[in-house]
Amino acid sequence: MHGSKKKVLLKVIILGDSGVGKTSLMNQYVNKKFSNQYKATIGADFLTKDVIIDDKAVTMQIWDTAGQERFQSLGVAFYRGADCCVLVHDITNPKTFDALESWREEFLAQAAPRNQEQFPFVVLGNKCDLPQPRGDLTGKYQKWCQDRNEMPYFLTSASQATNVEAAFEEIARRALQQENQESQDVPFYPDPTIRIQDGPSPLYERPGANQDCAC
Q: What is the CATH number of the domain that holds 149?
A: 3.40.50.300
C-alpha torsion 78→152→134→17, nearest 10: 0
Q: How many domains does the chain have?
A: 1
Could you tell me the pLDDT band of residue 215, with boundaries at 50, 70 and 90?
low
Average pLDDT rounded to a whole number, residues 44-64: 90
Complete DSSP assignment for the chain: --TTSPPEEEEEEEE--TTSSHHHHHHHHHH----SS--EE-SEEEEEEEEEETTEEEEEEEEEE-SSS--GGGHHHHHTT-SEEEEEEETT-HHHHHTHHHHHHHHHHHH--S-TTT--EEEEEE-TTS---SS-HHHHHHHHHHTTT---EEE-BTTTTBTHHHHHHHHHHHHHHHHHHHHTT------TTSPP-SS--TTTEETTS--S---
Provide the domain limits for residue 17. Answer: 8-190
Residue 205 lies in a domain: no
Query: Is residue 199 a part of any domain in this protein?
Result: no
pLDDT tens digits along 117-160 = 999 999 999 999 999 887 778 889 999 999 999 999 999 999 99
* Average pLDDT across the chain, whole number: 81
**Taking residues 25-37, what's their average pLDDT?**
87
Confidence of residue 40 (pLDDT cuts 50, 70, 90): low
pLDDT of residue 92: 95
On whether residue 202 sits in a domain, the answer given is: no
What is the pLDDT confidence band of residue 194, given thresholds at 50, 70 and 90? Answer: very low
- 203 inside domain: no
Domain presence at residue 204: no
Residue 157 lies in a domain: yes
Higher pLDDT, 17 or 70: 17
Q: What is the pLDDT of residue 2?
A: 46
Whether residue 126 lies inside any domain: the answer is yes
**Which pLDDT belongs to residue 185?**
55
For the ranges 76-85, 159-168, 198-207, the maximum mean pLDDT occurs at 159-168
pTM value is 0.80
pLDDT level of residue 189 (50, 70, 90 thresholds): low
